[in-house]
A and B are shown apart, each in its own frame.
Chain A
Amino acid sequence: MVKVRLWGSLRQAAEGQTEIEVEARTFKELLDRLVETHPGLEPQIRRGVSLSLDGVIYREAWFTEIRPESEVVLMPYMTGG
């Protein structure tokens, strides 16, 4: 199981939780499980999210491996100038 931290404004879409545990080995699996278990997150995930894995931010990378002990933080899709 992987513990995923959500940002605050996703709380209402995740039944009041800001940490969710899901069974996932990759970024793609994680997103799929989040949508399955918490459909309220789907609009934001469809719009785009980034993933911080042990402090490194990934904007895409479906197949990035996630270890059970990893720190996983869901973030808005990052943009720059």
Chain B
Amino acid sequence: MSLDEYTRREFKQVGTRVRRPDGVDKVTGRALYGADATAPGMLVGRILRSPHPHARIVAIDTSAAGALKGVKAVITGADLPVQEDNFIRDVQDNCMARDKALYDGHAVAAVAAVDAATAKAALKLIKVTYEILPHVTDVDIAVKPGAPVVLAGRTLENVPAGMSENVTSHCEFGHGDPEAGFARADHIVERSFRTAATHQGYIEPHAALASVTSDGKAELWCCTQGQFFVRTLCAAIMEMEASQLRVTASEIGGGFGGKTTVFIEPVALALSRKAGRPVKIVMTRDEVFRATGPTVHTSMDIRIGMTKDGTITAADAHLRYSGGAFPCGTVDMGAQAAFAAYDLEHVRTYGWNVLTNRPKEAAYRAPGAPQAIYAVESVIDELCQHFGLDPIEVRLKNAARKGTKSSYGPTFSDIGLVATLEAAKQHPHYCAPLAPGQGRGISCGFWFNFGGNTCVSLNVNTDGTVGITEGNPDIGGSRASISLMAAEELGIPYDRVRTIVADTSALGYNDVTDGSRVTFAVGLATIKAARDAVKKMCARAAKIWGIDEEAVEWKDGAAVPAGPNAGKFPPMALAEIAAVSFETGGPIAGHHEVNVDGAGVSFGVHIVDVEVDRETGATKVLRYTVFQDAGKAVHPSYVEGQMQGGAVQGIGWALNEEYIYGADGRLQNPGFLDYRVPVASDLPAIDTVILEIPNPGHPYGVRGVGETGIVPPLAALSNAVSRSAGIRLAELPMSPPRVLAALDG
């Protein structure tokens, strides 16, 4: 994808706040989520999970469960194939353990029965003989030589010798000579940080209904961020051809990255194949917490040097991330993102991925970036306090801009960080007075954004309406945005366009709804599909008028002669061309298939005011403002929603959310009563300021907005709490007990 996609234009519909197409269904309860799927003869699937964080599975006796009346199938890891490919094997082994249970909650067997009570009773009859193994759930312990080894033989060639076998990969980024830069600093802050694992906290638990027929075909309905990727994974695990497995995505009640892989889908398929009947599995909340992916937990050391005028002379970071019991590459993303907001002559980041006996990490909005940037932005704030400098001025002084060689390698083109910082500096929030005991924090945030494989079909109906078929579940308003872009391009009203999300049999491959890609990439493909349809409609008009196709152009929703030499014909609207399409050559459709690049990186700045109760340690969030570059906000309400949602999830991460493991290696808080996400009464209104610095890689200048918003809140909150409490905090979450302990010294 070239960087010359963007053309400046005046929009007629893009940028308006049209009604959302899924609104009526959702508020009236008609929207069909994963658990709403049903099929004749459907069985209930349930999964038996390990109570041990680390144990060898010596034997599993399923005979009693299988003999129970009403039980139609029982499976264990032995019912699934041995996989050669490491990636597929890890996904499969996470869905169903084979030789070892690797974390509390790891699936070890499953049953399908005529009802939930029978399935539950059957699980109790399964006898698993475990050999308990030593476990490790803390990254700082797991990284040490001599720690219990979670998975042997998974260390990549890039890991230096002498480290624990739990260290599976290493990365290093940066340029310059940090030690020379530190020597020029007037002051250096070196501090260690820790962040807890947090869950994406989507409202809808995972659900899947599978139906495998005796001739080898299969249907799968599930809540997912990517039905095509589900098909890829499940076809590999089930040893099926992709064409024989059709996957349909339901409406989705939140994903945030956590529904970009499979957990129960292959299990439901395997049970259905064995039982010869449809099988539905719906996870409980307890299962969601114990067995689906939270984000990584981390331990980080940051060192930054600064001169007294606020110039950063050097920076380095050592990041240790654990994504649970299987290798992951999240630390690579954190290490690249850590210093991306700054124009640095000397910078280096080092990352290590470490195995622990915890659930397999799944992506969570900007995976890896919030943690590293939290630590970096905290140290920047501490340096600002040390020198008595304004936090925004210091960031502006050191900000990355067009032409900056980024800390991860490439040179930035058009980016919006300076504009975002300037907007924050000029906003009334930044100069509003604070009462005694209150603190204000700010932080920058960054995310890469992606494009990816995308197919769109655009069908012109004979009544002049348009149907769009795309392949990405709508988790952030994409159907409205896609319809808006098609309406803009075609020159017809938004209400005449309907976008639907196709199953895997109806469209070519589409990458997962992740990487903030959908409005950018599917939008781009939609615009190009619309242009394809326009070209065909111009050709039809040319035929009707008896002139050359090149002599017709598209203007305001109609074909018109391109100039005075083309002849005099009244404009022929889309509906008129569509009405005679059968007579002029057949149905009219536009298509576009592409692997999109040029997503354009995204920056944001958050400001937050807080007050810490010194008696209870509780933090009250008083005011919050988000500034973010959207490139072009196609539907501003949805963009604001993404910015607000990211901020709220980040507030939860910063203040309360954490996976708490006991000494026994078991998760202590697998439920929303003990895992505390923010609720409305915890929050002020989240104010938003959208900036629009066009992305040259998109025809309308669009950038992804879904992920950047969760990056700055961690440090913004930490900086605010630290200033309010008068003591620098360096561990998340800043829960009341942790704040009290810090205050007590």
Contacts and interface: CB of A to CB of B under 8 A. Distances in A.
A60 interface: yes
B597 A76 contact: no
A80 interface: yes
A8 B173 contact: yes
B599 A7 contact: no
Given A9-B172, A80-B450, A81-B364, A55 B515 contact: no
A80 B409 contact: no
Given A56-B598, A81-B364, A81-B707, A76 B329 contact: yes
Given A52-B409, A56-B3, A57-B597, A80 B363 contact: yes
A34 B451 CA distance: 25
Secondary structure class of chain B's binding surface, majority of residues: loop
Contacts of B260: 81
Interface in A29-45: 40, 43-44
Which residue of B158, B350, B516 has the most chain A CB atoms within 10 A of its CB atom?
B158
A41 to B, nearest CB: 10
A28 interface: no
B158 A79 contact: no
A22 interface: no
Contacts, number: 107
Contacts of B171: 7-9, 76
B354 to A, nearest CB: 15
A81 B515 contact: yes
Contacts of B116: none
Interface residues of B, number: 48
Contacts of B448: 57, 78, 80
A67 B515 CA distance: 28
Which residue of A56, A64, A76, A79 has the most chain B CB atoms within 10 A of its CB atom?
A79
Nearest to B174: A8
Contact of B158 (A13, A52, A71, A73): A13
A55 B158 contact: no
A57 to B, nearest CB: 7
B333 A78 contact: yes
A56 B413 contact: yes
A76 B410 CA distance: 13
B409 A79 contact: no
A80 B413 contact: no
B611 interface: no
A53 to B, nearest CB: 8
Interface string B355-397: 0000000111111000000000000000000000000000000
A17 interface: no
B628 interface: no
A80 B365 CA distance: 7
A40 B365 CA distance: 33
Contact of B333 (A56, A73, A79): A79
Contacts of B598: 56
Nearest to B410: A52
B257 interface: yes
Nearest to A52: B410
Interface of A: 5, 7-13, 40, 43-44, 52, 54-61, 64, 71, 73, 75-81
Interface of B: 1, 3, 156-158, 170-174, 256-258, 260, 329, 332-333, 336, 348, 350, 362-367, 408-413, 447-452, 514-517, 595, 597-599, 697, 707
Given A54-B411, A56-B598, A80-B515, 5 more contacts: A43-B157, A44-B158, A52-B410, A55-B410, A55-B411
23 contacts: A7-B173, A8-B172, A8-B348, A9-B170, A9-B171, A12-B158, A13-B157, A52-B409, A52-B410, A54-B3, A54-B411, A55-B413, A56-B598, A57-B448, A58-B1, A64-B597, A75-B336, A76-B329, A78-B515, A79-B367, A80-B517, A81-B362, A81-B363
